[in-house]
Amino acid sequence: MDTVWMKEEEIYKAAELLIRGEVVSFPTETVYGLGADATNDAAVKKIYAAKGRPSDNPLIIHIANLAQVSEYAQDISEKARIVMEKFWPGPCTIVLRKKGPLAETVTAGLDTVGIRMPDHPIALKLIEISGIPLAAPSANSSGRPSPTSAEHVYHDLNGKIAGIIDGGETGIGLESTVLDLSDSSKPVILRPGGISKEELEAVIGPVMFKPELSNQTDVPMAPGMKYTHYSPSEPVVIVAENGIGWEKAIRYYENKGEVIGLLASEEIIKEFKPAHNCSFSLGKKRDTASASKRLFKGLRYFEETKATVILAESYSRIGIGEAYMNRLEKAAGNKVI
């Protein structure tokens, strides 16, 4: 099956496909999503099949207005309402107790569901026109870097999904923050993202941080907690600020006969890029927002080069830097030099 490539004005065509139980990729402010009717079990299963996604990895549902929250969630606390009012539409997913006609496969059998309202005109219009909540993980093959352009989606999923809406490059470049408010007395960040811990604590008080499972046999409450994620074809090694340093790291891998790809700030590339190696700029050295926006595009870039290993720069964990480092560490399998 060929995948239909649609322009942003063809939202009605995409909505028709979704209503018929097909899977369509669409842009959000974070990354491209892979949407299906969250109330249609057969449609949701097509998401898992297209991505090669494990069936115990739950999906986030996307809505277009606040009234839809009470259709699919219950026990909505004051803290949850504050977060919705402050950060929706936007890159924040809230985990609540589920209710209503959601497909069982959306929540992987859990009694909770992640809900968010994306801050992108195409995504909101698509949900509104189709009249259904959209289960929508990132539109990539499972384990690959998330897509920040329609071209990335096409590369991974052409022939596996019904259509792709091309809305240009995404703005934030990393997936949403997932905040568990199913127990409002214990707000927990399950996945860092576009809204930082500091921003959340400013409006609802103390927030815990738990981006990993304590037991890998458990079903994760949010994407990104259990399985290998964000990995390109080449191995990734993080060059830490307090590690051996760029000069020694480059010399070490050159002596091993590797072709090095530098995924780093402009300053590092200017100082250390060897003539025969390739590089991808993450922006200025202290600009974590730029690094976050460009990370996944950079990881994919080296697949089109001769690089055999990617040396990637670590950034401060302040603000969105926490999400950047979370994704980079997963891409590198926590390998730091």
Known binding positions for L-threonine:
30, 62, 116, 136, 176
Alpha-carbon distance of 40 to 269, in angstroms, equals: 48
Name residues whose C-beta falls within 8 Å of residue 21's C-beta, 6 or more positions apart in sequence.
36, 37, 40, 42, 43, 46
Name residues whose C-beta falls within 8 Å of residue 27's C-beta, 6 or more positions apart in sequence.
33, 120, 122, 123, 150, 165, 166, 167, 168, 170
Question: Around Cβ 152, how many Cβ atoms within 10 Å?
Answer: 25
Q: Where are the alpha helices (DSSP H) in the chain?
A: 11-19, 41-51, 69-72, 78-87, 121-130, 150-157, 197-204, 246-255, 266-272, 288-301, 321-331
Instruction: For helices 78-87 and 197-204, give the axis angle rounded to 10 degrees.
Output: 130
Q: Which residues pair with 298 in a beta bridge?
A: none
State the amino acid at position 154 in one-letter form: Y
Which residue ranges make up the annotated binding site?
30, 53, 57, 62, 112, 116, 136, 138, 146, 176, 191, 230
| Phi, psi (deg, nearest 5) at residue 242 | -105, 20
Which residue ranges make up the annotated binding site for ATP?
53, 57, 112, 138, 146, 191, 230
| Phi, psi (deg, nearest 5) at residue 78 | -65, -40
Name residues whose C-beta falls within 8 Å of residue 80's C-beta, 6 or more positions apart in sequence.
94, 96, 181, 184
| Phi, psi (deg, nearest 5) at residue 165 | -90, 120
- Which tokens is 242 given? 């307090």
